[in-house]
Amino acid sequence: MRGERRGGGRPGQGGRALNLRKIEAESYREALAKVRTAYGDDALIVGTRTFQRGGVLGLGGKQVVEVYVTETKTRGERLMELRGQAPRMPLPAVAAPAAYAAAPEQADAALDAPLPAAARERAAASERAPSAIDRRLNEIGLVLEQLSGEVQHLLRRSEGPPWGHPVLEEAYALLRERDVEDDLARQLIARLDRAVLPEEGMDEAALRGLVAAHAARFIDALAPAPAAPAGRVTIFVGPTGVGKTTTIAKLAARERYSSGRSVALITLDTFRIAAVDQLRKYADIIGLELKVATDPPGLREAIDSLAACERIFVDSAGRSPADELRLGELTSFVRAAPDAQVSLVLSATASARTLRRSIDRFARVGFRDLVLTKLDETQGRGVILSAIAHAARPVSFLTNGQNVPDDIEAADPQRIADLLLNGG
Ligand SMILES: Nc1nc2c(ncn2[C@@H]2O[C@H](COP(=O)(O)OP(=O)(O)OP(=O)(O)O)[C@@H](O)[C@H]2O)c(=O)[nH]1
Ligand SMILES: [Mg+2]
């Protein structure tokens, strides 16, 4: 008999037999309620198991919680108790609890399921009638065990890919290695067309090429390039110390020397004593006119006075994303120059979370594109993707060093994808 193989007896056989039963529910709480309804306080939970039923490739499906219980008293003893009599041997057969009477095969099948060693130990221990406190402690232990199992399960899900295709799994691992956030890596992988993938592993270079091509399309879709070309006036805004002034010097020098355009600079940064001097030095070296605007009408006036210039770069004081007042001031400057475009400068050394916060705070100022600086100081390039996805704005320039004017390059989705996957 199956029950006896575990050293137990079938329901109604009497004696101090080990009657293992399985209760199934959608949650541990529901399972406990079912146990109480079926057995009252006489049940001892000896094991639990959680798994997904249904679904495809680990996705979807329903969580099932199985709880194995054994009664601490035989049904004969319980019956006698109810009748107010002491148990006698042999005990009369009693019906199985309602939950099992309906499906005895399932209950028997449950007895065939291998129990974990810990559960077997608990089952053996249950032959000594435990106190109510023992039972509660046992239950608490099992809840903790189950919670820890669920946490492990969640961790595994967030670490590992659920696609069941080796190339997709490798592509996912590659993106995660490059510090692409989990959510974005998953979105990108979902775009890879299974139909064109080889069943066996691709070589690393081919895999990177494939993922980079998809990443470029993904980036383009996240933040399509603006329809209008860059205008005459650009205001650079951003948190403190990210490289606004240095980037302006790089761009101004390139425009001046490579394109031969007439370029001028305006600074709004009268906040720090050295700020105007810093930009003036660059202006002198490159041979550019520099104007200082101390208030919004001053900015308007400066732009109007430079009508003959083909390109005007406007520097602003770095603003902490937390500084409402100064962000408000910056917004007033930007409003005074509605013909200007705004670039938000962010450092790629910041965490994805910090970048998102800056993007949210500078959204009130308004910006058309992103400039990401200090790529030379970062390892993973995944934060670029996080910034683009959150801002839903394209990256116009990337900077990768302190050298003026060399350490800057124009960005487009393909270039960003190459940097991301190939290290560029
Ligand atoms: N490694 C590296 N350093 C950079 C890069 N761009 C700027 N820097 C350095 O970052 C520091 C700050 O640069 P700034 O241009 O003064 O930054 P800012 O945003 O104008 O700073 P505030 O005006 O004070 O807000 C300087 O030491 C720059 O040389 C870059 O691409 N890579
Ligand atoms: Mg500056």
- Checking if the pLDDT of 186 tops 80, the result is yes
Range of the domain at 253: 233-422
Rounded mean pLDDT of 233-242? 97
Eight-state DSSP code of residue 377:
G
Does residue 324 sit in the same domain as residue 350? yes
Does residue 257 sit in the same domain as residue 405? yes
Share of the chain above pLDDT 70, in %: 72
Using the CB atoms, write b or e for 16-30: b if 16+ within 10 Å. Answer: ebbbbbbbbbeebee
Query: Please, are residues 345 and 242 in contact by the beta-carbon 8 Å criterion?
Result: yes
Q: Which is nearest to 315 in space by CA: 260, 231, 233, 374?
A: 233
Mean pLDDT of the chain: 79
Residue with CA nearest ligand 1 atom 6: 243
CA-angle at 27, arms to 23 and 30, nearest 5°: 65
State whether residue 127 is helix, strand or coil.
coil
| Ligand 1 atom closest to residue 408's alpha carbon, by position in its atom list | 31
Gap between the Cα atoms of 333 and 298, Å rounded: 9
Pocket of ligand 1 (CB under 6 A): 240-246, 269, 275, 317-318, 373-374, 376-377, 399-402, 407
Question: From the CB of residue 335, how many other CB atoms can be counted at a distance below 10 Å?
Answer: 13
Rounded mean pLDDT of 57-78? 64
Is residue 228 in a domain? no
Query: Please, are residues 322 and 347 in contact by the beta-carbon 8 Å criterion?
Result: no
Query: Please, are residues 265 and 315 in contact by the beta-carbon 8 Å criterion?
Result: yes
- Checking if the pLDDT of 125 tops 90, the result is no
Query: Please, are residues 292 and 341 in contact by the beta-carbon 8 Å criterion?
Result: no
Query: Please, are residues 179 and 420 in contact by the beta-carbon 8 Å criterion?
Result: no
Q: Where are the alpha helices (DSSP H) in 192-309?
A: 204-222, 244-257, 273-286, 296-305
Gap between the Cα atoms of 107 and 111, Å rounded: 7
**CA 368 to ligand 1 centroid distance, Å:** 21
pLDDT at position 61 is 61
User: What are the backbone angles phi and psi of residue 317, rounded to the nearest 5°?
Assistant: -70, 140
Query: Please, are residues 225 and 255 in contact by the beta-carbon 8 Å criterion?
Result: no
Query: Please, are residues 276 and 253 in contact by the beta-carbon 8 Å criterion?
Result: no
Does residue 155 sit in the same domain as residue 296? no
Given 131, 159, 187, the domain boundary residue is: 159
Higher pLDDT, 74 or 144: 144
Distances (CA, A) of 245 to 269, 279, 314: 10, 7, 9
Gap between the Cα atoms of 258 and 40, Å rounded: 85
Question: What sign does the CA torsion over 329, 335, 339, 345 have?
Answer: positive
What confidence tens digit (pLDDT) does each residue in 294-327 have? 999 999 999 999 999 999 999 999 988 888 889 9
pLDDT at position 157 is 52
Gap between the Cα atoms of 169 and 165, Å rounded: 6
From 370, 402, 404, 407, mutation site for ligand 1 pocket: most ligand atoms within 8 A of C-beta: 402
Most confident range (mean pLDDT) of 156-165, 177-186, 238-247, 267-276 is 238-247
- Checking if the pLDDT of 15 tops 60, the result is no
**CA 155 to ligand 2 centroid distance, Å:** 42
pLDDT at position 103 is 44
Does residue 26 sit in the same domain as residue 78? yes
CATH number, position 402: 3.40.50.300
Does residue 64 sit in the same domain as residue 113? yes
Give 398's pLDDT tier (boundaries 50, 70, 90).
Answer: very high
Rounded mean pLDDT of 28-47? 76
| Ligand 1 atom closest to residue 407's alpha carbon, by position in its atom list | 31
Does residue 198 sit in the same domain as residue 263? no
Higher pLDDT, 354 or 157: 354
Ligand nearest to the CA of 243: 1
Is residue 338 in a domain? yes
pLDDT at position 86 is 45
- Checking if the pLDDT of 17 tops 70, the result is no
- Pairing state between β 20-25 and 43-53: unpaired
Does residue 215 sit in the same domain as residue 341? no
What confidence tens digit (pLDDT) does each residue in 194-205 have? 777 776 777 888
Ligand nearest to the CA of 326: 1
Higher pLDDT, 99 or 150: 150
pLDDT at position 197 is 78
Is residue 227 in a domain? no
Query: Please, are residues 355 and 387 in contact by the beta-carbon 8 Å criterion?
Result: yes
Does residue 142 sit in the same domain as residue 262? no
Does residue 191 sit in the same domain as residue 325? no
Ligand nearest to the CA of 405: 1
Higher pLDDT, 402 or 72: 402
Rounded mean pLDDT of 83-90? 45
Return the structure tokens found at 12: 């109604």
